[in-house]
Amino acid sequence: MMNIAILGYGKMGHLVEEVAKNQRINVPIILDAENEGGREITAEKLKDIDVCIDFSMPTAVIDNVKACAAIGKNLVIGTTGWYQHLDQIRSIVQSSAIGVVYGANFSIGMNLFFKIVEEAARLVSKFETYDPFIHEAHHKRKLDAPSGTAIELERLMKSEYKSLPVSSTRAGYIPGTHIIGFDSEADTITLTHTARSRQGFAEGAVMAAKWINGRKGLYEFREIFGSALVV
């Protein structure tokens, strides 16, 4: 039976624990605020752990990766907002020969949406009469705008469009919503993903943990999504 450790015990950490246990995965170790600087990630404490799942804070990711690398533990990074350090993370992973999966969004539905958007952009870009756009909306407590997911959607479409507008709304209690549109004089095509809860994120993170168990290297969840589905 697989054993995972959860790094960060906020709303996502609680959901990951629930999903893991429903799939008969053991969660013997949960590290939260006391893990500042990765100091609680030790060989002794995590000796029976197969994979760690990090939903902590962006400022903690580097220390957590270093600590996991030092003791040879694979890691799923669900935390976002640290991608400016991606080259450093890649270097750590390569030098330590651990396995790491990261992603802008671990939602299974959103990763299906990524693939749909890629194909839509490829098809619609052949018709110059359509102008693309991205709009995303979240509740007022979400600080980053545009969201990491919107930035990823923009990146996916950049292979077909050199530039496209990205807009954001932060208000009230709006659930995470991402809209991809293609507008022409004749009509408008829209694709929409709305997240009703964080459940899909937790399910994706646990799926990634099962996939990376026993593997080495740095992987983006979107890239391994198809093969992870069959684990």
- Calpha distance 70→55 (Å, rounded): 19
Q: Decide: residue 30, CB within 10 A, 0-12 exposed, 13-18 middle, 19+ buried.
A: middle
Which residue in 14, 45, 66, 142 is the catalytic one? 142
| Per-residue CA distances from 152 to 92, 131, 168, 172 (Å) | 23, 19, 14, 24
Residue 142 known to be catalytic: yes
Which residue in 73, 135, 138, 193 is the catalytic one? 138
Which residue is associated with the tokens 């994706």?
204
Cβ 75 vs Cβ 92: under 8 Å: no
Which residue is associated with the tokens 């009703």?
196
| Per-residue CA distances from 201 to 29, 146, 164 (Å) | 20, 19, 27
What is the three-class DSSP state of 114? helix
Residue 178 known to be catalytic: no
Q: Which residues are catalytic?
A: 138, 142
